Structure 1
Amino acid sequence: MPQVQTVRGPVDVAELGQTLMHEHVFVLTADVQQNYPEEWGSEDQRVADAVEKLQALAAVGVRTIVDPTVVGLGRYIPRIQRIAEQVDLNIVVATGCYTYDDVPFFFHHRGPALNAAVGAEVPDPMVDLFVRDVTDGIAGTGVRAAFLKCAIDAPGLTPGVERVMRAVAKAHQSTGVPITVHTHPGTQAGLLVQRVFGEEGVDPGRIVLGHSGDSADADHLSALADAGFLLGMDRFGLYLDMPFEARADVVVEMCRRGYAERMVLSQDAACYIDWIDPQVLAMLPQWNYTHIHAEVLPYLREHGVTEDQIDTMLVTNPRRYFQQPDS
């Protein structure tokens, strides 16, 4: 039976159960937190709060969350291990790099940046780092990443973004683990993902185009689905630019068109995200781990989405995503 790596070790893909494909435990600005620890407060209280919120998620029937927190988002696996030991939930973690523009300064004068100076092509050290996270484990914890993460947003295919994307593609080809890409549907960034990863020989069926649900353009989403991508309808509860009905209605329409097999559901929530002022977070009461089960699924059912389609989006598609093609 094919297996997927989780924080507590490998599990059979058949045991993933209902899976939310884009949920963070924490999203943090690591150097700010390290230098101004009063913002974070008590580590024990933060962990206890996370355990409580994730236990509530498990209580509604979710068995697995897929956490795409990587470099640039404050990934710290020992803390996630501590939480995972206390919740009846699989937590699947990622490797990769999150940027909308340039690579982190660490990589500026390493790898391809040296090509001109040495007169030859220098391998990108990101590739080896990502591969090591998958094959050996992250930072000596023994926890192995089960997928890769990168991003492309409104700035588009900058040199830094393209470098990370191609490093992710090479790590995918080396390890076989799938990819999730943060995208910006308003600029149809999925088409750039299609071009770059196509040039690198990556099967679109191994890629989730994250935040596809930020768009109500069902024709554009249908074209991406027809190309083979999985669409992340994964920001339910984050109702700033798109209201509840718009996000839910595009899922209804895509199901009506026969694309349930090409969508996964999630909320992009976190136990705590330091990017947003707590006063703003208080204005988003539905942005939490259980919103899909409490409000979104009832709405989808009322508007014609079948139980089989819901099961496909929550169970079958995540299982297929993590299953190696030759498994």
Structure 2
Amino acid sequence: MPQVHTVTGPVDTARLGQVLMHEHLFVLDPEIQSNHPEEWGSESERVADAVERLSALAGTGVRTIVDPTVLGMGRYIPRIQEIAAQVDLNVIVATGYYTYDHLPFYFQYRGPALAAVVGREVPDPMVDMFVRDIEHGIADTGVRAGLLKCAIDHQGMTSDVERVLRAVAKAHRRTGAPITVHTHPGSRQGSAVAEVLADEGVDPRRVVLGHSGDTTDIAHLSELADAGFLLGMDRFGIYLETSFEARAGTVVEMCRRGYAGHMVLSHDAACYYDAVPPEFAPMFPAWHYTHIHEKVLPYLRQQGVTDEQIETMLVANPRRYFENTAAY
């Protein structure tokens, strides 16, 4: 039986159940948190709050969440281990690097940047870092990453963004771990991702293009689905630049056109995200882990989405995504 690595150990893919494919536990700035701990507050209270929120999610019937928090987002596995041990959920974590434009100085003088100096190609150290997280575990925690994560936003395919994407693709080809990419569909960055991944020989069926639900451009989404990609309809609860009806309506229309097999669902929520000041919380009343089950699924059903299609998006598609783990 195929397995996927979770925070508490390997799990048969048949036991993943309903999966929310893009949720965070915490998204933090490590330097702020290390130097200004008053911002974080009580560690025990943060952990207890996370356990309460995730237990409520488990009560909806969800069995697994994917947490694509990687370097650049404050990933800290020991805290996730403590929480995962107290909740009835599988938590799958990721490796990769998150940037919209530049990499930090650590990477500027390592790997490809040295090629001009030494007169030969130099391997990117990110690839080995990512592979180590997948095959051996993150730091000394023993927790192995179950997928790879990178990002592109409206800034487009900067040289450093492309570097991370190619490093992720190379680690994918060595390990077979699937990929998720934060994208900006308003500027059609999924198409730019598709070009680079094709150049690296990545099968699009192994890739989630995250935040695809930020657009209502059905023609663009259909093109990406036809190419084989999974589309992350994964920001339910964020209704500033778009509405509940627009996000849900896109899923409805894509299902009507036969694309249920190319979508996964989630919120992109977190127990705590330090970039969002507490005063902003009232602007996001639906941005929490149980919103899909409380509001979105009933609406989808009212609009004609079938239980079979919902099962496909929540169970079958995530299971298929994690099952094909053979390296190239």
Q: Report the TM-score, using the length of structure 1 for normalisation.
A: 0.99
How many residues align? The count is 327
Partner of 2:287: 287
Tell me, in whole angstroms, the C-alpha distance in 2 between the residues paired with 1:265 and 1:278.
26
Q: Deviations over 1:38-77 (max 9, x none)?
A: 0000000000000000000000100000000000110000
The alignment partner of 1:153 has SS state of: coil
Letter in 2 for 1:86: Q
Letter in 2 for 1:46: R
Partner of 1:60: 60
Partner of 2:173: 173
| 1:252 and 2:256 aligned | no
| 1:96 and 2:103 aligned | no
The alignment partner of 2:241 has SS state of: coil
Letter in 1 for 2:148: L
Partner of 1:193: 193
Partner of 1:71: 71
Q: Deviations over 1:138-195 (max 9, x none)?
A: 0110000000000000000000000000000000000000000000001000000110
Runs (4 or more) in structure 1 with deviation over 3 Å come to none
The alignment partner of 1:282 has SS state of: helix
Report if aligned partners of 2:176, 2:326 keep a CA contact under 8 Å in 1: no
How far the C-alpha of 1:278 sits from its partner, in A, is 1.1
Q: Deviations over 1:262-287 (max 9, x none)?
A: 00000000000001111112221100
Partner of 2:11: 11
Tell me, in whole angstroms, the C-alpha distance in 2 between the residues paired with 1:189 and 1:170.
20
Letter in 2 for 1:114: L
Report if aligned partners of 2:178, 2:325 keep a CA contact under 8 Å in 1: no
Partner of 1:30: 30
Q: Report the TM-score, using the length of structure 2 for normalisation.
A: 0.99
The alignment partner of 2:223 has SS state of: helix
How far the C-alpha of 1:325 sits from its partner, in A, is 6.0
Tell me, in whole angstroms, the C-alpha distance in 2 between the residues paired with 1:243 and 1:139.
41
The alignment partner of 1:149 has SS state of: strand
Partner of 2:106: 106
Partner of 1:143: 143
The alignment partner of 2:283 has SS state of: coil
Partner of 1:121: 121
Instruction: Give 5+ residue unaligned stretches, structure 2.
Output: none
The alignment partner of 2:167 has SS state of: helix
The alignment partner of 1:213 has SS state of: helix
Tell me, in whole angstroms, the C-alpha distance in 2 between the residues paired with 1:174 and 1:240.
40
Instruction: State how 1:306-325 maps to structure 2 within 5 Å.
Output: 306-324=306-324
Instruction: State how 1:36-47 maps to structure 2 within 5 Å.
Output: 36-47=36-47
Letter in 1 for 2:138: I
Tell me, in whole angstroms, the C-alpha distance in 2 between the residues paired with 1:68 and 1:106.
22
Report if aligned partners of 2:175, 2:325 keep a CA contact under 8 Å in 1: no
Report if aligned partners of 2:23, 2:66 keep a CA contact under 8 Å in 1: yes
Tell me, in whole angstroms, the C-alpha distance in 2 between the residues paired with 1:126 and 1:325.
20
Tell me, in whole angstroms, the C-alpha distance in 2 between the residues paired with 1:325 and 1:99.
26
Letter in 2 for 1:183: T
Tell me, in whole angstroms, the C-alpha distance in 2 between the residues paired with 1:139 and 1:281.
33
Tell me, in whole angstroms, the C-alpha distance in 2 between the residues paired with 1:289 and 1:125.
35
Aligned residues with identical type, % of pairs: 70
Tell me, in whole angstroms, the C-alpha distance in 2 between the residues paired with 1:106 and 1:274.
24
